[in-house]
Amino acid sequence: MRSAGPVGTAEHPGVAVLTLPNALSALRVLLVPVFAALILTGHDLWALAVLAASGASDWLDGRLARRWQQVTRLGQVLDPAADRLFILAALLGMALRDLVPWWLVAVVVGRDLLLLALGPPLARMGHGPLPVSDLGKAATFALLYAFPLILLSSVGGPVGAVARPLGWAFALWGACLYWWAGLRYAAQVRALLRARDAQRAASPGAAS
């Protein structure tokens, strides 16, 4: 498939936006309010189906982008944004239904607020968002597995009895990894700021 404009490799993302991988990522973002509405109205099986479809498209768009060399800046922003929006929608929906405590919402949202606060310093340096680390991907994977299992625990019976401890295991591990990845991200930003300051101090004309 050809894209409308130049495309880039994974190492050097291009500027094209009209690609199938980006369309799949955009579709995932559009599915978030559908997913949220299904959770809030108690249509858990349909919510699980939407989440499964989102997970399949997440795998597919990444695979196609790498295979067709259509990794773009837009895709690198849309993909993690869709994951975070699904996590937020699932957390808020389940908290409103008393399926998860509000402290879990605060833990996960607090980490995202930390990353949001690191955006302006990066922008002032002319630096785009840092790439998602493997640790961050593992954290997102754990959280996105946790919520379907916690939803399944609400059905009761043998399925619920098995799903509940598994769901909470993924949720707690995911929350810990989520913060670990966030703190590593903050350390990267701090290192970039220090390197910039050192470069300025060493440049000709710097104050002695």
Question: pLDDT tens digits, residue range 55-83?
Answer: 787 777 677 777 777 777 776 777 888 88
* Contact status, residue 174 vs residue 139, Cβ threshold 8 Å: yes
Tokens of 140: 């997102």
Average of pLDDT values for 91-98?
92
The domain spans of the chain are 1-98, 101-208
Query: How far, in Å, CA of 127 to CA of 76, rounded?
Result: 14
pLDDT band for 180, please (50, 70, 90 cuts). very high
pLDDT at 142 over 60: yes
* Burial of 121 per CB tally in 10 Å (0-12, 13-18, 19+): middle
Task: Give bridge partners of residue 72 from the DSSP assignment.
Answer: 14
What per-residue confidence (pLDDT) applies to 152? Answer: 84
Average of pLDDT values for 181-187?
93
Average pLDDT, the chain: 82
pLDDT at 136 over 70: yes
Nearest CA to 103 among 93, 111, 112, 95? Answer: 95
Q: Residue 71: which residues within 8 A CB-CB, separation 6 or more?
A: 7, 8, 9, 10, 13, 14, 21, 65
What per-residue confidence (pLDDT) applies to 12? Answer: 43
What per-residue confidence (pLDDT) applies to 13? Answer: 45
What per-residue confidence (pLDDT) applies to 37? Answer: 94
Higher pLDDT, 23 or 165: 165
Query: How far, in Å, CA of 99 to CA of 101, rounded?
Result: 7
- Comparing 3-17, 35-49, 60-74, the range with the smallest average pLDDT is 3-17
Tokens of 158: 């043998």
Average of pLDDT values for 44-60?
83
* 36 phi/psi in degrees, rounded to 5: -65, -45
What per-residue confidence (pLDDT) applies to 45? Answer: 85
Tokens of 51: 């989440």
